[in-house]
A and B are shown apart, each in its own frame.
Chain A
């Protein structure tokens, strides 16, 4: 097993864990935590392919990962703002109870 497939398997595992967390937990914030884990796993994939790929001096994978980090931070901010706003409206963050469109 080459080093690259090791990193890819770890990234796949973290992605699956994040997906499981986003799909099975009740609290809205934990869904966002799962999403952050998935984004991080994708970043690990990008950097692993950059490192073991044919042209690492072109910096493509590294730049992609850095931009992905920046965008994930922006998305986390907006997502958590939404969660806070929903809490203020419905007084709960339990996703099983936020199941009607009319707020």
Chain B
């Protein structure tokens, strides 16, 4: 039972923002508008994280996704000249199959969630998570994943630069 109608209204508004952003991101014709709608979806998700008392994850989501991934997507759109609308339409030939698959996935997931309603945990206390606890966890229990993610990010950075770099000598084919 929701404790406060204000909470429910806020959750509905934020979810509507996120879902609307996601829908716009896959349905709009102009690719740059899609990227900007994706940013809206990211912000809606960050606000949902903040509602769930995960402040560190929410701010990290804005910093990483809106501040870096969205800019990356936009740069890629500009560098591949996708900002002009193609003449042959924006949906591929097999769009119906994709839509059916996605709808089936959603149906299965929603059925699973609604079916297992009695088994889900209800009404917990609010976790008081301070940044110091997160720092201690990162340096204590999660130090190995942290170092591995650091190596992964370095490898990804070097790999992305090499993949997208100009070849020095244009070999004639």
Q: Which residues of A contact B (CB under 8 A)?
A: 1-10, 12-27, 29-30, 32-34, 36-37, 40, 43-44, 47-48, 50-54, 56-57, 59, 62-63, 65-67, 69-78, 80-85, 87, 93-96
Number of CB contacts from chain A to chain B under 8 A: 252
Tell me which of A4, A27, A54, A71 contacts B31 (CB under 8 A): A27
Specify the chain B residue showing the minimal Cβ separation from A17. B22
Min Cβ gap B79→A in Å is 6
**Cβ contacts under 8 Å, A43 to chain B:** 45, 49, 57, 61
Give the secondary structure class of B's interface.
helix
With A26-B86, A33-B34, A74-B153 as contacts: A20 and B102 at CB distance below 8 Å: yes
Min Cβ gap B100→A in Å is 9
**Cβ contacts under 8 Å, A84 to chain B:** 76, 79-80, 163-164
Give the secondary structure class of A's interface.
helix
Is B92 touching A25 in the complex (CB atoms < 8 A)? yes
Min Cβ gap B75→A in Å is 8
Is A26 touching B91 in the complex (CB atoms < 8 A)? yes
Q: Which residues of B contact A (CB under 8 A)?
A: 2, 7, 11, 15, 18-19, 22-23, 25-26, 31, 34-35, 38, 41-42, 45, 48-49, 52-54, 56-57, 60-61, 64-65, 68-69, 72-73, 75-77, 79-82, 86, 88-95, 97-99, 101-103, 105-106, 109-110, 113-114, 117, 120-124, 127, 129, 133-134, 137-138, 142, 145, 149, 152-153, 156-157, 159-161, 163-164
Is A33 touching B26 in the complex (CB atoms < 8 A)? yes
Tell me which of B48, B54, B110 contacts A50 (CB under 8 A): B54
Specify the chain B residue showing the minimal Cβ separation from A72. B69
Tell me which of A4, A74, A77 contacts B122 (CB under 8 A): A4
